[in-house]
Structure 1
Amino acid sequence: MAGLFGFFDYTKPGKGVEKEEFKPNLSTFFRVLSTRFWKLLQLNLIYIIFSLPLIAVIFAFVPIGHGEVDIIALFKVCIFGLLYLSVVGLAPVTTGFTYVLRNFSGNRHSWVFSDFFEHIKKNFKQALLLLVIDVVISLIVPFIYSFYTNITNMGAEVSAFYKNISFMARTFVVMFSFIYFIMHFYIYQIMVTFDMKLKQILKNSLIFALSHLMRNIGVFIIIFAIAVLSFGYNTIIGVLLSILITPSLIGLIINFTTQPVVRKHMMIQTADDNKETEQS
């Protein structure tokens, strides 16, 4: 489990950041969680308030029936809605959210309110462009998935060849969606840490998503399990937990487990670039 956890020193300065190295293991994670718990509650509440437009969209997909099919559909909306809110979110809001979590996951101090709003402001233009990309992909992917699913489920009027092609295309859509989702494990962390163009951020995030796929799948399984457990007993309890702590907990886990990847690759690259600049 220790292989999933880590931290790195950041290149973008920020107030309230102090240098204190610690071992990236499971005990450290729970120590950070316990010492920052009340601040995580504060951060979660702020994040929920400023994510209300996204939450309203998620609730628009909630079925109004009470049948077995509707209950299952409600459970799916709650699970995937919580994961989308916690990982992708509304990009400008999530930058402030991630900055505070980045510091907390590195056992560094952060002012919840001031740092949250300051880094929304600092990264707003870049995050707004990312939000547009997220919205476009979120609208197109379900349509394409539904299109190929309908072809796959058609009867004898469609040949087996076209059904197989549609099945493979649908599989590709699912794979693309998953990869783009786990890219967000890194996108915001890189955005609030390095001065890079969005194209570079997306490129690096894609590289990390693919080159550390097993780690990312492990993280996804953990946060998926948290989402399922949150809503597994009762929907109202799941909603209350989401308002209180769940997105912050998921975000803390993501930042805590992906930092070693960024440290290993991007921090070394940044140091080499600075060295080359000084020599020139």
Structure 2
Amino acid sequence: MKAKKRKFKLFDMNRDGRGVEKGEDGPRNFRNFFKYFRRKFSTLLSVNLLMVFQLLPIVAAVFVFVTGPTQNTALSVLYPTACSAAFMSPSPTNDLLLATVSLQLGVPVYNSYVYYVIGAIAIVYVLTFGWQNVGGTYLLRGLVRGDPVFVVSDYFYAIKKNFRQGFFVGLIDVTVIFLLSQNLMFYSQFGDSFLMSVFYMAVIALILVYFTMRYYVYLQLITFNLKTWKIIKNSLIFAVLGIKRNIMAALGIGAVLLANFFLFYLLAPLNFIFPLILPLFYFMAVSGYIATYAAYPVIEKYMIEPQAEDGGPPADELADES
């Protein structure tokens, strides 16, 4: 005799699970992106709790810089001359000139604790930059591949497994980012010179190329046992081979940024702080997932699948040998 069918199964521990949804193993294309993203969104929020530490040092440094002791400093180089003229020969003209150039800005006091605190934050940020990217990329790769993801344990497992190379790749990465940003700010000051404008556009092009290369750097590091130079070389090649997916990823990340600005202007009149801190809860993981979703199929096509066809060991086994 069959057991009587239960009417209420909400708390039934023996009931059947949902199983695998239809299309779970479908191609990683634009059509399936939003379906997979919706399924992984709650896990992405958990992943972001660890990835947000890539932003918190910057936020902390800005907070210390803004709230530290300041000294008012004139923005215009004409301020001393105008002040002397107004003092030595008072007149409506000199007073007007002084008012025009007297705008001042509060800058941190020289040799105050602000510089030491920011310096300490910068050192910690640089030393841990590669490890944080390794751990975050490992989690995002698991989500893209559909692997079971244990956020905290997998994060630190990836760092431990790639501790040495992750550190040195992180140093190279943060150095390149720093140099490119400094060059961008330097050449942006010489808009009147044609040659400097050419250099400025060249720096922008290099930033776009390197931004795309970063999709692949840490993915290769955690997937294969490769030398650092080989990883960088392959990343440059993949920036070209996967150009369609790379462009779509850049547009997706740009759309997330635009959504953040839209939310800020929408919510700022109600509460200024909330829209500022809101991206900290999702931006790093969401933008990283978009980049990984675009980049991993390219690596799979040109490195993993040919290796499997040749009868070689799986990519993860190669990585475990390092």
TM-score computed with the length of structure 1 as normaliser: 0.70
- Following superposition, the deviation at residue 117 of structure 1 comes to 0.9
- Following superposition, the deviation at residue 31 of structure 1 comes to 3.4
What residue is the counterpart of 1:223 in the other structure?
253
Alignment match of 1:252 (pick from 279, 289, 300)? 289
Once the two structures are superposed, residues 46-74 of structure 1 have per-residue CA deviations (whole angstroms, 9 ceiling, x without a partner) of: 221465324435667989x9xxxxxxxxx
Given that 1:54 and 1:90 are in contact with CA atoms closer than 8 Å, whether structure 2 keeps it comes out as: no
- Following superposition, the deviation at residue 95 of structure 1 comes to 1.0
Question: Given the superposition, is the C-alpha separation of residues 104 and 172 from structure 1 closer, same or farther in structure 2, using an over 3 Å criterion?
Answer: same
- Following superposition, the deviation at residue 241 of structure 1 comes to 3.2
* Aligned amino acid, residue 149 of structure 1: S
- 2-side partners of 1:237 and 1:59: how far apart? 16
Taking the TM superposition and a 5 Å limit, the aligned residue runs for 1:10-21 are 21=25
What residue is the counterpart of 2:136 in the other structure?
97
Once the two structures are superposed, residues 143-174 of structure 1 have per-residue CA deviations (whole angstroms, 9 ceiling, x without a partner) of: 32333333343xxxxxxxxx322221111111
Given that 2:137 and 2:288 are in contact with CA atoms closer than 8 Å, whether structure 1 keeps it comes out as: yes
Q: Cα RMSD (Å) of the superposition?
A: 3.0
Question: Given the superposition, is the C-alpha separation of residues 190 and 232 from structure 1 closer, same or farther in structure 2, using an over 3 Å criterion?
Answer: same
- 2-side partners of 1:145 and 1:46: how far apart? 30
Given that 2:129 and 2:171 are in contact with CA atoms closer than 8 Å, whether structure 1 keeps it comes out as: no
* Aligned amino acid, residue 45 of structure 2: L
Question: Given the superposition, is the C-alpha separation of residues 21 and 218 from structure 1 closer, same or farther in structure 2, using an over 3 Å criterion?
Answer: closer
**Which consecutive residues of structure 2, in runs of 5 or more, have no partner in the other structure?**
1-23, 68-103, 105-127, 265-271, 313-322
Larger RCO, structures 1/2 (Cα 8 Å, 6+ apart)? 1
* Aligned amino acid, residue 189 of structure 2: N
Matched, 1:197 2:227: yes
* Aligned amino acid, residue 242 of structure 1: P
Once the two structures are superposed, residues 90-143 of structure 1 have per-residue CA deviations (whole angstroms, 9 ceiling, x without a partner) of: 221111111111111122211111001110121222121122222322332233
Question: Radius of gyration: which is bigger?
Answer: 2
Alignment match of 1:45 (pick from 21, 32, 49)? 49
- 2-side partners of 1:178 and 1:244: how far apart? 26
* Aligned amino acid, residue 211 of structure 1: L
Ranges of 4+ aligned residues in structure 1 off by more than 6 Å: 58-63
Question: Given the superposition, is the C-alpha separation of residues 217 and 36 from structure 1 closer, same or farther in structure 2, using an over 3 Å criterion?
Answer: closer
Question: Given the superposition, is the C-alpha separation of residues 29 and 143 from structure 1 closer, same or farther in structure 2, using an over 3 Å criterion?
Answer: closer
Given that 2:180 and 2:207 are in contact with CA atoms closer than 8 Å, whether structure 1 keeps it comes out as: yes
- Following superposition, the deviation at residue 231 of structure 1 comes to 2.7
Once the two structures are superposed, residues 22-55 of structure 1 have per-residue CA deviations (whole angstroms, 9 ceiling, x without a partner) of: 3324454333333333221111112214653244
Given that 1:36 and 1:104 are in contact with CA atoms closer than 8 Å, whether structure 2 keeps it comes out as: yes
Identical-residue share of aligned pairs (%)? 30
Range 32-41 or range 182-191, more displaced: 32-41
Taking the TM superposition and a 5 Å limit, the aligned residue runs for 1:112-261 are 112-153=151-192, 163-234=193-264, 236-261=273-298
* Aligned amino acid, residue 103 of structure 1: G
Given that 1:231 and 1:237 are in contact with CA atoms closer than 8 Å, whether structure 2 keeps it comes out as: no
SS of corresponding position for 1:150: coil
Question: Given the superposition, is the C-alpha separation of residues 226 and 209 from structure 1 closer, same or farther in structure 2, using an over 3 Å criterion?
Answer: same
SS of corresponding position for 1:230: helix
- 1-side partners of 2:60 and 2:156: how far apart? 22
Richer in helix (by share):
1
Question: Given the superposition, is the C-alpha separation of residues 192 and 238 from structure 1 closer, same or farther in structure 2, using an over 3 Å criterion?
Answer: farther
* Aligned amino acid, residue 145 of structure 2: G
- 1-side partners of 2:283 and 2:190: how far apart? 38
TM-score computed with the length of structure 2 as normaliser: 0.61
Question: Given the superposition, is the C-alpha separation of residues 167 and 95 from structure 1 closer, same or farther in structure 2, using an over 3 Å criterion?
Answer: same
